[in-house]
Structure 1
Amino acid sequence: MRIIGGKLKGLRFNPPKNLPVRPTTDMAKEALFNILQNQVDFDNIKILDLFSGTGSISLEFASREALEITAVDQNFGCVNYLKSISTEHQLTQIKTVKADVFKYLNQETETFDLIFADPPYDIPRIPEIASIIFEKKLLNKNGILIIEHQSRQDLHNHPNFKEKRKYGYSAFSFFVN
C-alpha cells in the first residue's frame, strides 16, 4: 500500500498479512482522488471513513491535510495498525474507532463533509449504508458519500445517487446531499 499524493506521497506501508482486508487498489484510489481534488478542498473537510481496514483511504486524506478524519472498523488489528501508523507519522487528525459500522452509524450524531465506505463486498447490507446516512442526516449540505463495491452491484435506486465509476472489479458510487 502506498500514499499517492500529499505530504506523504510515495510512502509505502506494509500492513500485517493477517488482517481481514481487501484494500482499495492504487489504480482505483488514484482515480478516486483525481475526481475528488476537483471537487473538494481537502484541508477544510471533516471525513468519516467506514470499514477503514488498513487505513489506506484515511492515510491518503491525512497526507492531503484533511482537517479531521474518523476511521471506523470493527477489527481490533486494523484499528491498532492505523493508530500506530498515525502516531508514527504524526497524523493527529486521524481518530480511530473500533465499532460495528452499522451500530456506529445508528448512534452517530456528528455530521461530515465526506463519508467514504469500503465494506466487504460480500455483505448484503451495502445498500443500507446510503439509506442510514441520509436518514440520520450525517452528511453536511453539499456533502459527498462514496461507497466502494463490486462493479456489478447497482446502487442507483437511492434518491441521492449521482454517479457510478467502474475500475475493474470495483466501483465507486457517489451520492450527494
Structure 2
Amino acid sequence: MAKAKPIKKASTGSGQIRLIGGQWRGRKLPVLDSEGLRPTTDRIKETLFNWLMFDIHHCRCLDLFAGSGSLGFEALSRGAGEVILVEKDATVAQQLQRNLASLPAAQGQIINTDAIGFLQSPATAFDLVFLDPPFHRELLPNVCQLLEHNGWLNVDAKIYIEREQASESLLLPSNWRLLKDKRAGQVNYQLYQRESE
C-alpha cells in the first residue's frame, strides 16, 4: 500500500498575507510555503494602491502570477468589480480558492494554469493587470507582448510590474507609458498606462 503524502499546511509567521485597506482591512489570509512565492510587502502594496486610488473601484483586474493572491485580494477588498487570479501551482491555487471563498460575495475567480497558456486563450480585456512573476525566470518580455497584442488590455489599461532590481532593462510595448517607478530593497516596481498607438 502506497504511503500517503503529507498534506502541505500553511506555515505560521510569514505564511499569511494581510489585507491593508478596503472592506476586509486587517483580514489575514493563510499562504502556503512554495518555492519562489514572494508576497508583495505591505509597504510596496500601500504605495501601489495609493497610486491606484482613483482607478480600482469597479475595474476589471487580472493578477497573472497570483502566488499568495496579495495583490488580487487587495484589489477585491478595495472595490474592484472583478479579479481573475491565475496561478500555475495546483496546491497554491487550491489555497487561493479557499481564501477567496472566505471573502463574502467577492467577485473573483481562480484559474489554475500557467501565464503563457492563459494568454494564448481567447482574450477578454482588463482595466488593470498585476505582473509579479517569480524572479530570475525572464517571463516578463513574452508576457507583456502577449498582453498587448492578444487583446487583453483595454485602451487605457494600467499595468503594474514588480521585478528584481538586478534584471536587465525590460523591452516593453512602445505604447506603454511609465507613470510611476520606485525601488524597495532588491525590488523594482512600476506602474504603466497603455495608450493607443
> So what's the TM-score if we normalise by structure 1?
0.90
Whole-angstrom distance in 2 between the partners of 1:71 and 1:19? 18
Q: What pairs with 1:94-109 in structure 2 (closer than 5 Å)?
A: 94-109=108-123
> So what's the TM-score if we normalise by structure 2?
0.82
Q: Where does residue 7 of structure 1 map in the other structure? A: 23
Q: Mind listing any 5+ residue stretches in structure 1 that lack a counterpart? A: none
* TM-fit CA distance, 1:90: 1.8
Question: Pairwise CA RMSD of aligned residues?
Answer: 1.7
Deviating above 6 A after TM superposition, structure 1's stretches of 4 or more consecutive aligned residues are none
- Name the CA shift for 1:175/1:75 in 2 (closer, same or farther; >3 Å): same
- 1:61 counterpart = 2:75: yes
Give per-residue Cα distances to partners, 1:61-89, cap 9 Å, x unaligned.
11112100000011111211111111112
Judge which range, 86-95 or 49-58, deviates more. Answer: 86-95
Q: Where does residue 9 of structure 2 map in the other structure? A: none
- 1:27 counterpart = 2:27: no
Structure index of larger Rg: 2
- Of structures 1 and 2, the one with the larger relative CO (CA 8 A, separation 6+) is 1
Bigger proportion of residues as helix: 1
Q: Where does residue 161 of structure 2 map in the other structure? A: 147
Q: Where does residue 116 of structure 1 map in the other structure? A: 130
* TM-fit CA distance, 1:91: 4.2
Q: Where does residue 166 of structure 1 map in the other structure? A: 183
2:96 to 53, 57, 82: 82
Secondary structure of 1:61's match? helix
Whole-angstrom distance in 1 between the partners of 2:119 and 2:172? 21
Give per-residue Cα distances to partners, 1:16-71, cap 9 Å, x unaligned.
2346511111111111111111x41x232000101101111111011112100000
Between the aligned residues of both structures, percent identity stands at: 27
- Aligned letter for 1:34? N
- Aligned letter for 2:78? R
Q: Mind listing any 5+ residue stretches in structure 2 that lack a counterpart? A: 1-16
Alignment size in residue pairs: 175
